[in-house]
Structure 1
Amino acid sequence: MFLGPTIVFSAFKNEGHEFYYFVLILGTIFCLMAVYLLYSGIMTIIKSLSEEENNNFQG
């Protein structure tokens, strides 16, 4: 979660470098993966809690 912004910041500090676009794209991919994994984890927790509530009410 912290790796993506760090890589993007590093890319913006070195705009004249030949690997600028590669590092920027890599940092952006890490940021997008972090957002997806955060969303997936939260949805798993919510799903687990809602199933637990349904099981308690059934009997």
Structure 2
Amino acid sequence: MAIDKTLLDKGIKYLLYALPLMFLGPSIIYNAFINKQNVWHWLVLAVGIVLCGLAVYFMFKGVKAITDALFADKP
């Protein structure tokens, strides 16, 4: 069972993209809830939710790429 190194590297890159987004998204959402009196509250909240969604997307894509690289049936 051979490991596809390029696909493995791609999966690790996706996980590295998700790592800062996992911290940045909730921090921005928290900041939006703290500053409810601000006019930009809804925009900041939407940006935080989008960043959290991107973190989840990159995590799933990275884990899928890694599992495909490890468990692919290539001769």
Query: TM-score, structure 2 length as denominator?
Result: 0.69
Aligned match of 1:12: 33
| Aligned residue among 43, 53, 65 for 1:22 | 43
Q: Secondary structure at the match of 2:54?
A: helix
Aligned match of 2:56: 35
Which stretches in structure 2 are left out of the alignment for 5+ residues?
A: 1-21
Instruction: Report 1:39-58 matches (<5 A).
Output: 39-51=60-72, 54-55=73-74, 58=75
Equivalent pairs, count: 54
Higher relative contact order (CA 8 A, sep 6+): 2
Asked whether 1:2 is paired with 2:23, we answer yes
* CA distance, structure 2, for counterparts of residue 2 and residue 48 of structure 1: 27
Moved over 3 A (4+): none
* CA distance, structure 1, for counterparts of residue 50 and residue 36 of structure 2: 18
Structure of higher CA gyration radius: 1
Give the alignment's Cα RMSD to 1 decimal: 0.9
Query: TM-score, structure 1 length as denominator?
Result: 0.86
Which stretches in structure 1 are left out of the alignment for 5+ residues?
A: none
**Identity %, equivalent residues:** 35
